[in-house]
Amino acid sequence: MIAVTSGEFLKEFTLYADRAHEDKETFIIQRENGKHLVLMPLDAYNALQKELYLAKKA
């Protein structure tokens, strides 16, 4: 996991989006107002959602 500021993320959106997709990297986007975000590949997100669903069923 790599943390970046929102300003840096906006400046280099394509770079971070490509790294997330191609390198399976997860980024924490730090915002000044404390409303931080996460950028991750869709397949990683779907895998997490599946795990949560299965955990709830058990």
Alpha carbon distance 14, 49 (integer Å): 25
pLDDT per residue of the chain (58 residues) written in tens, 0 to 9: 999 999 999 999 999 999 999 999 999 999 999 999 999 999 999 999 999 999 998 7
- Give pTM, 2 decimals: 0.85
> Structural domains in the chain?
2-57 (3.40.1620.10)
